[in-house]
Amino acid sequence: MTDSSSLALEHLPGGSAPLYERIADEVRRRVDAGIWSRGHRLRSEAEIAADLQVARGTIRRAIALLVESGHLVQRQGVGTFVAGREGLRVPGRFESLGQRMERNGVDHETVELGRDVVDAPQPSGAPVRSLRVRRLRLLDGVPMSVLVNQIPLDIAPGIEQVDLVTMSLYTLLEKSFHVAIEHSELTFGAIAADAELAALLDVPVGAPLTHLVQSTYGPGDVRIDDAETWIRPDRHQPTVSLWRTNS
């Protein structure tokens, strides 16, 4: 696959299900994992059929399934779009993108770029001894994002010796170190790719990237992770769902 809007036959789930159901399953995984976010416009039926080398009627049946399930919405004369996620999300569930990909079986790869132990500055108080790890995430073999995480060593003793690519970092913290993850603060921005990011993400120098800065906390506002992520917007568009609560 050359971009996140395309589908390729070799990336469809296997099994004996009819082809249109397998196509629908692949689209559903991308929507549920947030790879295709709300408002994402799908390629035309003819273009998808050409990508997959299948009959256009097969694509039409797959789309009909996804419209019925609430994953897609069709606008006459405009196109087919990812629908709002009101019926798809799990209220109160906090997940990283890596965890959503794991849960939905999305084919992705994480490559570690390096790690070191640093004294991480804190908004208030003394710096905290932390593991800093840099990783590259690929979707269908194409670079999607660069991630830098800083995890205090006192909340996960020994993490500096652990493999950090075979599972989501937050899954590892929860399962192996019994760290309770409660909430996160996230700031969105945009940045031009410098030479290093451009080389890692396979984009031109100066290309626009989505820039996320995230701090994650456990019970009692214990700081668990400070993260910075640079994302190719043609590969993934982060989506945040907000609820109004009664006070």
Question: What digits encode the pLDDT tens for the residues 91-131?
Answer: 445 667 777 676 666 667 899 999 999 998 876 678 889 99
Question: Same domain for 47 and 101?
Answer: no
Residue 122 lies inside a defined structural domain of this protein: yes
Question: Same domain for 107 and 140?
Answer: yes
**C-alpha 191: how far from its chain's center?**
19
Distance CA 56, CA 9 (A): 14
Q: Which residues contact 27 (CB under 8 A, 6 or more apart)?
A: 7, 36, 42, 62, 66, 71, 72
Question: Same domain for 129 and 171?
Answer: yes
Question: Same domain for 58 and 113?
Answer: no
Which amino acid type is present at position 130? Answer: S
CATH code at 18?
Answer: 1.10.10.10
Question: Same domain for 27 and 73?
Answer: yes
Residue 104 lies inside a defined structural domain of this protein: yes
Q: Which residues contact 247 (CB under 8 A, 6 or more apart)?
A: none
**110: which DSSP letter?**
E
Q: Helical H runs in the chain? A: 19-32, 45-52, 56-69, 97-104, 169-176, 195-201
Enclosing domain of residue 198: 97-231
The per-residue pLDDT for 160 is 92
- List the helix and strand counts (H, then E) for the chain: 6, 8
The pTM of the full predicted model, rounded to 2 decimals, is: 0.63
Assign 87 a pLDDT band (cuts: 50, 70, 90). Answer: very low
Mean pLDDT of the chain: 83
Residue 134, SS3? strand
The per-residue pLDDT for 244 is 57
Distance CA 120, CA 131 (A): 9
The answer to whether 63 and 22 are in contact (CB under 8 A) is: no
Average pLDDT over residues 215-238: 89
Dihedral class, residue 19 (left if φ above 0, else alpha if ψ from -120 to 50, else beta): alpha
Output 130 or 188, whichever has higher pLDDT.
130
